[in-house]
Amino acid sequence: MAESGYPDVLALDGVGVRLGGRQVLCDVTFSLGKGEFTGIIGQNGAGKTTLLRVILGLLEPSGGRVLIDGEPLGGKNKASIGYVPQKLVIDPDMPLRARDVVSLGLDGYKLGFGFPSRQRRELVERALADVGAAGYADARVGELSGGEQQRVLIAHALISRPKLLLLDEPLANLDLRSEQEIVAVLGKLAREHEISVLLSAHDMNPLLGVMDKIVYIAGGRAASGATHEVVTSEGLTALYGHPVEVVRVHGRILVVAGD
């Protein structure tokens, strides 16, 4: 239960995952309140995608529970989760405009309801404006830059009005400026639209200014809390199971092998 008295938008309680006979994640526990911004941070292969797959209900945990709004993950509350995949997989020759991709996000929503075309257009315009992508609504998505495509994907997920937005490595392969812009867009969605944002990344630094909470994964386990509480030499040494040192330089945090 969150301090507000409302149930957390997302809560994981002792979640474990076994894959191919190996315990990939063990006893993962954390929660996410309304409008909170949380980064799942870990090196390659730490288990970030696996954890997102569990939250999306695509992978059955070997133990523990996933609760959405205090209820077990199921058909009804799955609709309140928006998912942004790592990148748009699309044939560059497809004549699909940015607004078409966003509009597709409506079709999985409230099936059978059907949106009249004017309302559909308005919803698409609003979602594109919310992510700052209105300027290229009519551009072919295959011709957009990585950062622009990422905004379109976020708008696609946003149009079904999710309470919780999950993003798998949205900053991967972006240049510094696009990275900062995407972080700013997501920070605004959390603050102004009160959408709970959970994203995975291998580098925590671009997120330091917006993250309310960090979920740091290493050695198959996770530590969560405020960044300054979790990212300490002592805490991460315990998590990794070998000595690491947390070094702060010029506002950046580096985790390096210790003695």
Ligand X SMILES: Nc1ncnc2c1ncn2[C@@H]1O[C@H](COP(=O)(O)OP(=O)(O)OP(=O)(O)O)[C@@H](O)[C@H]1O
Interface positions with ligand X (CB under 6 A): 19-20, 24, 42, 44-50, 202
CB 229 within 8 A of CB 196: no
Minimal distance in Å, beta carbon 53 to ligand X?
8
Nearer to ligand X, 54 or 155 (CB): 54
Which residue is closest to ligand X by CB? 20
Of 29 and 49, CB closest to ligand X: 49
Measured from the CB of residue 220, what is the shortest distance to ligand X in angstroms?
9
Report d(CA 51, CA 41) in Å as an integer. 11
Shortest reach from residue 136's CB to ligand X, in Å: 28
Contact yes or no for 234/59 (Cβ under 8 A): no
Q: In the complex, what is the shortest distance from the CB of residue 81 to ligand X, in angstroms, rounded to a whole number?
A: 18
Strand pairing report for 196-201 and 37-41: parallel
| Pair 144, 136: CB distance under 8 Å | yes
> Closest CB to ligand X among 44 and 117?
44
How deeply is 79 buried, as exposed, middle or buried, from its count of CB atoms within 10 A (0-12, 13-18, 19+)? middle
Cβ proximity to ligand X, 142 vs 219, nearer residue: 219
Contacts by 125-132 with C-beta closer than 8 Å and gap 24+?
Answer: 127/102, 127/155, 127/156, 127/158, 127/159, 128/98, 128/99, 128/102, 128/152, 128/155, 130/155, 130/158, 130/189, 130/193, 131/155, 131/158, 131/185, 131/189, 132/181, 132/185
Minimum distance, C-beta of residue 167 to ligand X, in the bound complex (Å): 12
Beta carbon nearer to ligand X, 25 or 127: 25
Cβ-based nearer residue to ligand X, 48 or 99: 48
Coil, helix or strand at residue 67 = strand
Residue 186 three-state SS: helix
Q: How far is the CB of 86 from ligand X (least distance, A)?
A: 8
Q: Which is nearer to ligand X, 97 or 202 (CB)?
A: 202
Give the nearest distance from C-beta 206 to ligand X in angstroms: 15
d(CA 15, CA 163): 21
Structure tokens belonging to residue 18: 């076994």
